[in-house]
Amino acid sequence: MSSTATSETVIARGQKVILVLGLTGAGKSSFIQHFTSEEVPRGDRSLNPQTLHIKTYPVTLGDESVVLVDTPGIDYPGYTYLEIAKWMAEVKPEPIKSVYGIIFFYPIDHNLPSEEIKWSAGMREEFSTLLGVSITSSCPFYRVVLATTRWNISSDSEYGTQTTSETRLVNNWSLLEQQGATIRRSEDTAECAKEIVEAILAAEPLDVKTISARNRLVIAVIGAPQAGKSSLIRASTNDPWLLKNTRARALSDLQTYETRINNENVLLLDTPGIDSPSDLERVSRLLLQWLKEQSKLIRTRTVYLDGIIFVHPIDPSPGQKMVQQMHLVKQFNKLLGNLKHIRDEKDLNAYQRVVLTTTMWDKVSTGGDYAVEREKAIREENWNVMEIAGSCIARFDNTTKSAWVIVEQIVEAKKSGDPAYQHHKVMREFDNLKSELKQIGEGLAALQKGQDALRAGQEGTARVPELDRLIAAACNVVN
């Protein structure tokens, strides 16, 4: 790879332009230095600005020719973005309407949360303008890399502080990530620099939002073929978002939907049907691989399912078998936290987040006692151990209400120890109570009004004979 700095801003029509943005001292110039033999102004580890003006560097990577644009530090976001817009308008031979990609650097030791929020809030709008894309499109930021720099892995205490900062920072960038941006750590090496640029050049547009389990509860829906898994997911929300895992195309058998239950974001994983223990093992491997991909994506050691909805038709088709409980427990233990036992001390309440659901109740004929007996047999013979361990038994009758109740049970169990969630729950119940009291008050007022009208009517009826006598007397006088 090679590069030569230019003194004039001359960019050939159609050439790919990648903006290198970031805070002062984040390492933008150091990054570009890996691509050029010419000296790029670089500072030390202080936060003193080294790039005072926008400067371009044509870069050749294999058969690709791009222009890297070094920019002043974004210490005052509005000013810096304005300068970039002015520069784009003055490029020769014709102005640049949009850039090809964006690399944004953030120094991980720049521990100022208030500033993070300040400039993170407007990044989506500014980036969409620079890229010439609509912020409301499915994945407008698939050519954006958000890179953290200046990591210190030699000090355990400092590294711990930096990982905490990274978690907070990634939360601030979650919307960008959901809309296609890649978040990663950056090392000050030529290999890492090349990898980042090549990732932007190789990026492909995504049809739908990028999956991320961050700040979401992940619930797998598992069960027999044609048992109603997809119907339950669709019924849980009026407008489910179908998500595709573009990072792991081998997992195409998993369909991922996002919904919102009690103000909690929930990912529902629709899985292939299972008829046998081997089918169950295959689905379990798919889910474990998906969870492994998520741990890489959100940079955490492990990701497990927050809950499982297991479905089985109350009136199965002829020959359809139910996977035995021992096989379910073996795989569920892996998915819920690599548990050794159904009542593992690591998570004694894990099976409270497993809802065992019978489906097709809407197809049961009136007076279907056989279905009730069938449900009783399933509970006693196939689900008894899991029920004792805390699992809920539920019915899905193909209605939104029943689907909501099923998913909500897992959300409630997962959030039982979350003070913030419990506070919001109490406030929701209080608001509901106020609404009910208001309705009762309005009903009482209407009843009181009716009673008053009735009383007035009764008084009028009692005076009818007296009015008749007065009318008769008046008639006699006239005559």
Considering the chain, what percentage of its residues have pLDDT values greater than 70?
Answer: 80
At 370-418, the pLDDT tens digits run 888 999 999 999 999 999 999 999 999 989 899 999 999 999 999 887 7
Q: What is the pTM (predicted TM-score) of this model? A: 0.54
Choose between 93 and 460: higher pLDDT. Answer: 93
- Phi, psi (degrees; rounded to nearest 5) at 26: -80, -15
Residue partners of 404: CB distance under 8 A and separation at least 6: 235, 236, 261
Predicted local distance difference test score (pLDDT) of residue 190: 92
The residues with which 222 forms a beta bridge, in sequence order, are 310
Nearest to 219 by CA among 205, 208, 229, 206: 229
Predicted local distance difference test score (pLDDT) of residue 2: 47
Predicted local distance difference test score (pLDDT) of residue 444: 78
**pLDDT tops 80 at residue 107:** yes
**pLDDT tops 60 at residue 59:** yes
At 60-105, the pLDDT tens digits run 888 888 999 999 888 766 777 888 999 999 988 899 999 999 999 9
Mean pLDDT of the 251-265 span: 78
**pLDDT tops 80 at residue 341:** yes
Mean pLDDT of the 131-151 span: 89
Give me the torsion for CA of 98, 103, 109, 114, rounded to 10°: 30
Per residue, the 3-state secondary structure of 73-120, as one string, reads CCCCHHHHHHHHHHHHHHCECCCCCCCCEEEEEEECCCCCHHHHHHHH
**pLDDT tops 80 at residue 115:** no
Token couple for 245? 């895992």
Predicted local distance difference test score (pLDDT) of residue 421: 65
**pLDDT tops 70 at residue 363:** yes
Token couple for 297? 């994506």
**pLDDT tops 90 at residue 419:** no
The per-residue pLDDT of the chain, averaged, comes to 81
Distance CA 26, CA 39 (A): 18
**pLDDT tops 80 at residue 192:** yes
Q: Is 411 helix (H, G, I), strand (E, B) or coil?
A: helix
**pLDDT tops 70 at residue 470:** no
